[in-house]
């Protein structure tokens, strides 16, 4: 199979002098032979090095980047709001040699993302007030004393920065999140910076204004546009915000020909396709929903009672809501790879006034199924976890008696569906799945007996939508699903094959779906997003392409051979957390955090053998909870 341009090992041969029969000497120019990197049968990960900050659960190691020329690693440290610079010339012993900070230029600012290409470091900087515009700042990898250019002002909350493959363009996903009470909601944008003249970078902005007024059509396609327009007024179909404000760009990948970018719009469950030359959004593509009622797509939907129970759940869907994205080429076609984390909007959740019914203080879309469809309605959860905007819609909800007959739903009754061991504990979005009027978009009302009733006060949920897909997916360049890992992650982690620990000596199934900041918490994440895949790195070794997927909650890295996008092959899983019983926070406070290993992988970067200090392919992983940077060797088999 023809894949993206092969990773080649450098070969330098001497050029000799050739004597001729006449009196003159002539130099014969010779072309060094091209030596291809060995193509492995398979690969596995081995932990070889680690840098620790000793900071627990404050994002002290998040997004990594690497520079081959200086052998330096650049790791976003959210605790500092800076980038830690590591000397990786000996990858088994990373050494902290400096940092990049934006706060000397912009008080209170934070660096959210970093990228490196051709000796240039680009950092994405969030303003002290996150709803204000941020910046991109450029440095040389070998001279971090001062920026290369004047900081380039971009959109609000820059969340991901990348270079195009040729290094001539920088792109930034400006997420534009709202503030906590949703009174300010900046528009999401993508900044495109032309580096043709390093002294005068040219900024273009791809925005989503062209989709304003088309929100109903976008929702009909499956794109989530659901934030409130005026949060002081009742949440209703005629009080939803504009597309440009609701869209939140998350992560970017760029085509091999440097012409097209694809951007995950995580909360919107969609993908933006952008032309770089014109900075125009060509299309918005819905990811759709993963059907948990289909064989091979089962989930463990409950954390109570404790136990492993992976099974299909008809009429329950997963919103892919991917975080990171990567791309590669096969036979001239681009394929996109996503880590389907899932992410909800939860603003103002720490404000008691919000839970007391003041909708203007926030917007939280999560709710448990057991509370959504309780026979006594929503008000029993007031001053606890009842979102006021849900109460604006109705006083209670029912489940469709046909779609949920499998768990005992009947007309006006939900049967066993709300039981903790069935669907009751599952976190879903109350903003979708209920029956609506095809013309107005307003909810169709039912009474408590399950009859349609214009003066009724019950929503009818035909389907339930949970967060994430507990998988990674491969899509074509138009957002059509090519392959999804289904329930493979949870099933593997529940099997005898999966082992935790650097030496692979801990039975993973004994700590199934444990959270990254918890100890002795078997099954605790099943009602949420399971192992929660978040980070993606793609690397080519010889003629094969591999993907590395970080599991944020369970921890560790899954590895697949994706050379054939229709038939990925599992390769390995390594989780270097060493203790799942002790409470991590307690251990860190006592100065014993180092012994726990790595917790909460956030970002990953693959380093090809030709670029690595030791001549072997590496994987660098930033772990936000343990605040550690892990260095893995990718061993060829």
Give tens-digit pLDDT for 485-534.
999 999 999 999 999 999 999 999 999 999 999 999 999 999 999 999 99
> What DSSP character marks residue 485?
-
Give tens-digit pLDDT for 591-631.
999 999 999 999 999 999 999 999 999 999 999 999 999 99
pLDDT over 80 at 108, yes or no: yes
H or E element in which residue 339 lies: strand 333-339
Of 335, 337, 339, whose CA–CA distance to 323 is shortest? Answer: 339
In angstroms, how far is CA 397 from the centroid of its own chain?
31
- Give CA–CA dist 398/557, Å, rounded: 40
Contacts of 50 (CB under 8 A, 6+ apart): 94, 598, 628, 629, 630, 631
Of 239, 263, 241, 242, whose CA–CA distance to 251 is shortest? Answer: 263
Asked whether 230 and 274 are in contact (CB, 8 A), the reply is: no
Of 133, 4, 47, 105, whose CA–CA distance to 572 is shortest? Answer: 47
Asked whether 171 and 192 are in contact (CB, 8 A), the reply is: yes
Please indicate whether residue 12 or residue 349 has the higher confidence score (pLDDT).
Answer: 349
- DSSP code string of 508-547: GGGGTT--TT-SS-TTTTTTTTTT-EEEEEEEEETTEEEE
pLDDT over 60 at 106, yes or no: yes
Q: Is 578 exposed, middle or buried (0-12, 13-18, 19+ CB in 10 A)?
A: middle
Of 550, 554, 525, 560, whose CA–CA distance to 601 is shortest? Answer: 550
Asked whether 433 and 426 are in contact (CB, 8 A), the reply is: no
- DSSP code string of 260-323: EEEEEEGGGTEEEEEETTTTEEEEEEE--EEETTSTT--B----SS-S---B--TTEEEE----
Say whether 490 sits in a helix, a strand or coil.
helix
Of 386, 378, 377, 380, whose CA–CA distance to 357 is shortest? Answer: 386
Give tens-digit pLDDT for 264-310.
999 999 999 999 999 999 999 999 999 999 999 999 999 999 999 99
Mean pLDDT of all residues in 320-345: 98
Contacts of 396 (CB under 8 A, 6+ apart): 373, 374, 375, 376, 377, 378, 448, 457, 458, 459
Asked whether 207 and 189 are in contact (CB, 8 A), the reply is: yes
pLDDT over 60 at 15, yes or no: no
Give tens-digit pLDDT for 406-439.
999 999 999 999 999 999 999 999 999 999 999 9
pTM greater than 0.75: yes
Contacts of 616 (CB under 8 A, 6+ apart): 609, 633, 634, 635
- Give CA–CA dist 96/75, Å, rounded: 10
Q: What radius of gyration do the chain's Cα atoms show? A: 26
pLDDT over 90 at 29, yes or no: no
- Give CA–CA dist 392/305, Å, rounded: 33
pLDDT over 60 at 1, yes or no: no
pLDDT over 50 at 24, yes or no: no
Give the least confident one: 18-22, 39-43, 607-611: 18-22
H or E element in which residue 72 lies: strand 72-77
- pLDDT at 36 (0 to 100): 80
Q: Residue 13 — pLDDT band, cuts 50, 70, 90?
A: very low
In angstroms, how far is CA 577 from the centroid of its own chain?
21
Q: Residue 237 — pLDDT band, cuts 50, 70, 90?
A: very high
Give tens-digit pLDDT for 556-598.
999 999 999 999 999 999 999 999 999 999 999 999 999 999 9
* Parallel/antiparallel/unpaired status of strands 363-364 and 396-399: unpaired
Asked whether 298 and 311 are in contact (CB, 8 A), the reply is: yes
Look up residue 307 and give its two tokens: 């136990």
Length of the chain: 637
- pLDDT at 20 (0 to 100): 31
pLDDT over 60 at 28, yes or no: no
Average pLDDT, the chain: 94
> What DSSP character marks residue 423?
I
Sign, CA torsion 14/15/19/25: negative
pLDDT over 60 at 26, yes or no: no
Q: Which residues of 352-366 are buried (b: 16+ CB within 10 A; e: fewer)?
A: eebbeebbbbbbbbb
H or E element in which residue 476 lies: strand 472-476
Give tens-digit pLDDT for 122-135.
999 999 999 999 99
Asked whether 554 and 513 are in contact (CB, 8 A), the reply is: yes
Q: Residue 34 — pLDDT band, cuts 50, 70, 90?
A: low
Distance between start and end Cα atoms, the chain = 20
* Parallel/antiparallel/unpaired status of strands 152-156 and 158-163: unpaired
Longest Cα–Cα distance of the chain, Å, equals 108
Degrees to nearest 5, angle at CA 542 with 540 and 544: 55
Phi then psi for 163, rounded to 5 degrees? Answer: -100, 150
Q: Strand 260-265's sheet: what is its strand order?
A: 249-254, 260-265, 270-275, 280-286
Please indicate whether residue 476 or residue 5 has the higher confidence score (pLDDT).
Answer: 476
Percentage above 70 pLDDT, the chain: 95
> What DSSP character marks residue 113?
E
- pLDDT at 30 (0 to 100): 52
Mean pLDDT of all residues in 326-336: 98
> What DSSP character marks residue 596?
G
Give tens-digit pLDDT for 46-90.
999 999 999 999 999 999 999 999 999 999 999 999 999 999 999
Of 463, 465, 466, 447, whose CA–CA distance to 455 is shortest? Answer: 447
Residues paired with residue 98 on neighbouring β-strands, in sequence order? 85
- DSSP code string of 187-229: PPEEEEEE-SSTTS-EEEEE--GGGTT-HHHHHHHT-----BS
């Amino acid at each position: 199979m023809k894949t993206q341009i092969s990773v080649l090992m450098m070969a330098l041969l001497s050029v000799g002098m050739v004597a001729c029969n006449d009196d003159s000497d002539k130099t014969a120019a010779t072309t060094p032979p091209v030596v291809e990197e060995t193509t492995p049968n398979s690969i596995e990960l081995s932990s070889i090095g680690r840098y620790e900050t000793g900071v627990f659960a404050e994002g002290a190691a998040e997004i990594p980047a690497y520079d081959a020329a200086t052998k330096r690693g650049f790791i976003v440290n959210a605790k500092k709001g800076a980038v830690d610079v590591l000397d990786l010339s000996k990858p088994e012993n990373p050494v902290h040699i400096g940092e990049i900070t934006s706060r000397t230029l912009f008080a209170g600012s934070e660096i959210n993302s970093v990228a490196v290409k051709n000796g240039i470091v680009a950092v994405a900087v969030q303003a002290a007030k996150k709803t204000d515009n941020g910046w991109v700042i450029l440095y040389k990898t070998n001279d971090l004393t001062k920026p290369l250019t004047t900081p380039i002002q971009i959109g609000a909350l820059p969340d991901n920065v990348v270079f195009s493959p040729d290094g001539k363009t920088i792109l930034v996903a400006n997420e534009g999140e709202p503030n906590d009470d949703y009174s300010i909601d900046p528009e999401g944008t993508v900044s495109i910076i032309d580096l043709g003249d390093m002294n005068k970078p040219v900024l273009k902005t791809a925005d989503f204004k062209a989709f304003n007024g088309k929100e109903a059509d976008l929702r009909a396609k499956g794109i989530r546009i659901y934030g409130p327009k005026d949060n002081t007024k009742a949440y209703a179909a005629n009080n939803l915000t504009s597309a440009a404000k609701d869209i939140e760009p998350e992560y970017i990948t760029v085509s091999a020909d440097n012409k097209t970018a694809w951007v995950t719009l995580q909360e919107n469950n969609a993908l933006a396709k952008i032309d770089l030359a014109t900075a125009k959004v060509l299309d918005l593509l819905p990811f759709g929903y993963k059907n948990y009622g289909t064989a091979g797509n089962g989930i463990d939907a409950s954390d109570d009672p404790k136990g492993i129970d992976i099974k299909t759940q008809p009429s329950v869907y997963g919103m892919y809501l991917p975080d990171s994205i990567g791309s590669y080429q096969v036979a001239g076609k681009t394929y996109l790879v996503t880590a389907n984390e899932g992410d909800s909007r939860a603003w103002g959740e720490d404000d008691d006034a919000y839970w007391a019914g003041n909708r203007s203080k926030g917007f939280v879309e999560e709710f448990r199924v057991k509370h959504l469809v309780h026979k006594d309605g929503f008000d029993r959860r007031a001053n606890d976890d009842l979102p006021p905007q849900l109460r604006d819609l109705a006083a209670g909800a029912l489940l469709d008696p046909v779609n949920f007959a499998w768990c005992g739903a009947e007309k006006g009754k939900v049967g066993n569906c709300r039981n903790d061991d069935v669907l009751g504990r599952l976190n879903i979005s109350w903003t979708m799945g209920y029956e609506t009027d095809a013309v107005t978009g307003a909810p169709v009302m039912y009474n408590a007996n399950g009859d349609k009733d214009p003066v009724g006060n019950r929503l009818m949920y035909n389907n339930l939508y949970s967060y994430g897909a507990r998988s990674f997916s491969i899509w074509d360049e138009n957002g059509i699903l090519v392959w999804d890992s289904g329930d493979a992650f949870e099933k593997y982690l529940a099997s005898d094959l999966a082992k935790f620990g650097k030496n692979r000596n801990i039975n993973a199934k004994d700590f199934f779906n444990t959270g990254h900041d918890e100890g002795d918490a078997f099954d605790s994440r099943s009602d949420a997003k399971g192992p929660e895949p978040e980070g993606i790195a793609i690397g080519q070794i010889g003629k094969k392409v591999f993907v590395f997927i970080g599991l944020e909650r369970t921890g560790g890295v899954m590895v697949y051979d994706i050379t054939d996008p229709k038939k990925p092959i599992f390769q390995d899983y390594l989780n270097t957390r060493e203790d799942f019983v002790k409470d991590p926070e307690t251990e860190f406070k006592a100065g014993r955090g180092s012994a726990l290993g790595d917790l909460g992988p956030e970002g990953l970067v693959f380093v090809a053998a030709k670029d690595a200090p030791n001549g072997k392919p590496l994987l660098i992983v930033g772990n936000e909870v343990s605040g550690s940077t892990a260095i893995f060797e990718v061993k060829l088999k």
